[in-house]
Structure 1
Amino acid sequence: MADPSADTDSEDEIPAGWEERITLDGEVYYANHITQTTQWEHPLSGKKKVATGELPYGWERQIQDDGTVFYVDHVNKKTTFTDPRLAFAETESSRKTFRQKFDGSSTALHILSGRDLTGKYVIITGANSGIGFETARSLAFHGAHVVMACRNLLSGQECCDRILAERPGVKVTVMKIDLASLGSVKDFAEQYKQKEWPLHYLICNAAVFGLPYTRTEDGLETTFQVNHLSHFYLTKLLWDLLMKNAPARVIVVSSESHRSGDLNALNISEEKLSPPASAYWDLKAYNNSKLCNVLFSLHLNSLLSRFGVTSVALHPGNIMYTGIQKHWWFYRLLFYMARPFTKSMQQGAATTVYCTVAPEMQNVGGMYFNNCCRCPTSSAGCDEELAKALWDISEKILRKRIGRPI
């Protein structure tokens, strides 16, 4: 008699006459329709599988009067007798290891498959364009209440309307924040707290690049303030909410450009971080601000991880056509020419989303990620003494501007 498994090319495939099923508790079992028996082990690999967590966003389990269990997909208006968690079941051995499931070609929506973020609140700075928009859109599609923190309210509302037009009923709110103004950052935090909403994820995404030399209303070089100091201030203003709603996470969007930063324990100072016009070069300012992102995340995690709040930094992708290059024609041309060879916005948002919601990221902090995988930073990026020095100088700069301790 021929082997019924001869035509299979994967240990996950089920031989003829077998059916894969799942209990309400998420344990996978196998029914043999030929022998009328069931077993917990896969008929080919002998492995056991289990699916953890709640039903995916938009799904509901219902039970008929006769005890029959079925599942309703309210998003796609479909009904099935198959538990949707079955598609995301994993072998027990793989669940015990930290392994790479995604890579540079993964998309944010791919990573979110099967996740229900209902009841989770997330703030995303710079959510009205590029990677920030795709991050907001993807998280909202899976039930999170997304707060789009934007400088341009008109653009933010247009982006919010696009999300609602594509998926009516999702929870998206647009709020004003101008990272070039410490006063605006404070106003945003106070207005958010007045809403009495929880906060589970803070995504520091907004950034500027390639600016001609400018100073903010607070008297600081703009790239430094927008990319680092205002996110530092915002996090400090909101970290009581994060601790209150732990486990919570702070996600800092940095860049591989941090490797070209030239900050070290000997030269770090307010003048180095926020230089005068005579010492300004746009690329150096950007590279140092991205190194600040990595160092900020590193020290923040050391302070808050014991309270259940973790922080990671990440690189979204190389030379992505997000709009960040808009300040100089040469950068616009360079990014445009590279566009066919770089990630899509969905792929660019993937590492942010992965660091935000992936189950294996629970309680993981103080690290740097690229292509949905942990990778080493530059030597400066993992210098804890430099991270502490940056933190102390950042607090000193803020105290001088706002006139009180933070």
Structure 2
Amino acid sequence: MPYGWEQETDEKGQIIYVDHINKRTTYFDPRQAFTVEDVMVKPKRYDGNTAALEILQGRDLSDRVVLITGGNSGIGFETARSFALHGAHVILACRNLSRASKAVSLIQQEWHKARVEAMMCNLASLRSVREFAESFKAKKLPLHILVCNAAVCTQPWTLTEDGLESTFQVCHLGHFLLVQSLQDVLRRSAPARVVVVSSESHRFTDLLDSCGKVDLALLSPAKKEYWSMLAYNRAKLCNVLFSNELHRRLSPHGVTSNAVHPGNMIYTSIHRSWWLMTFLFTLARPFTKSLQQGAATVVYCAVAPELEGLGGMYFNNCFRCQPSEQAEDPSSAASLWELSERLVAERSAGVQAL
């Protein structure tokens, strides 16, 4: 049966076919509607109007394990839902386990056979990330697709328990540690893909000091030098640089990575911390992508056959695009990687000392 369909019997004893994805019932066997050419995966042209479920049409992902950070709401939820409705085993890594469990229930209400579960992972705590990685490894599962989706925006200045500015840690450093902690699983599961959700906002900032090195003072500034949107822009630039360097390091082992921009001003909960941004996003809502359309580029980079073995790229509207000049700079990517390794190692040493 095509994914999402089930054969059942009605009250008269007649065989019926239920499409759980589109919520419809028919007496017509859907298998007769799919010819060999229909179900063959071919390179296809998508655009900004494409929905994630369109990209997955006809795909059976029952042999795939997918991990998504921040998958309980917004684009992350639609990404998780799209994969789960096509058979993948989906794990939502979220800081709020109650909200994540509700998201799991919503997906399973839509299709009761969906394999989706929630696990606790707070990217604002490197300790939590390490604990999540150990819990995931204990499941003895492969990992074919890792979507680094979670983010915060327009946050007031706060330091995490690790002593770093929260936007930088949630958007970048927490994901850096997560991928580092799971890279052995990704390698064993190869071919595997990492998709890092960035933004066009990465174009409106820089990260380098006068010596051409990534400057921690810019990424984790003092309160008096903090501006929330600039912190977000810098974190999104980190996302592209991280994805590029990750691909350079892991692609020889069958693990590829690409960064994506999901869409402009898509209405999600990411802007809830600042009333003005919420107001602006509300005004723009009728003219922007839906959440399903926002998830499309993420899903495309995660499953497109034509991208097998390819990475170190930046995508928007399911097309490869050129990011900012600094985002393509390999020395900046290497500098950020070295800084991230040092920050993680220092905080790991502090935990062990306790």
Do they superpose with TM above 0.5? yes
- What is the aligned partner in structure 2 of residue 86 from structure 1? 37
> What 5-or-longer segments of structure 2 have no aligned partner?
7-16
- What is the aligned partner in structure 2 of residue 302 from structure 1? 248
Q: Distance in 2 between matches of 1:247 and 1:57?
A: 23
Q: Distance in 2 between matches of 1:191 and 1:88?
A: 36
1:337 aligned to which of 283, 286, 293: 283
1:231-246 alignment runs, 5 A limit: 231-246=175-190
- What is the aligned partner in structure 2 of residue 116 from structure 1? 60
Output the amino acid matched with 1:110.
E
Q: CA contact under 8 A between 2:51 and 2:296: conserved in structure 1?
A: yes
- SS class of match (2:270): coil
Q: 1:312 to 1:147 in 2, by over 3 A?
A: same
Q: Distance in 1 between matches of 2:291 and 2:236?
A: 20
Considering Cα pairs closer than 8 Å and 6+ residues apart, tell me whether 1 or 2 has the greater RCO.
2
- What is the aligned partner in structure 1 of residue 133 from structure 2? 189
Find out whether 1:278 has 2:229 as its counterpart.
no
Q: Which moved more, 1:264-273 or 1:348-357?
A: 264-273
Q: 1:169 to 1:59 in 2, by over 3 A?
A: closer
Q: Distance in 2 between matches of 1:158 and 1:199?
A: 23
Task: Report the CA distance between 1:330 and its aligned residue.
Answer: 0.4
1:2-401 alignment runs, 5 A limit: 56-57=2-3, 78-79=28-29, 80-81=31-32, 83-88=34-39, 101-264=45-208, 266=212, 268-401=214-347
Q: CA contact under 8 A between 1:177 and 1:185: conserved in structure 2?
A: yes
Output the amino acid matched with 1:86.
E
Q: CA contact under 8 A between 2:55 and 2:299: conserved in structure 1?
A: yes
TM (norm. structure 1) is 0.78
Q: Distance in 2 between matches of 1:259 and 1:74?
A: 43
CA RMSD in angstroms comes to: 2.0
Query: What CA deviation, in whole Å up to 9, does each residue of 1:150-174 have, x standing for no partner?
Result: 1111111111101101111110010
Task: Report the CA distance between 1:87 and its aligned residue.
Answer: 2.2
Q: Distance in 2 between matches of 1:322 and 1:73?
A: 31
TM (norm. structure 2) is 0.90
Q: 1:89 to 1:402 in 2, by over 3 A?
A: closer
Structure whose alpha-carbon radius of gyration is higher: 1
Pairs aligned (count): 333
Output the amino acid matched with 1:203.
V
Q: Distance in 1 between matches of 2:102 and 2:255?
A: 32
Q: 1:329 to 1:400 in 2, by over 3 A?
A: same
- SS class of match (2:260): strand
- What is the aligned partner in structure 2 of residue 25 from structure 1? none
Q: CA contact under 8 A between 1:223 and 1:289: conserved in structure 2?
A: yes
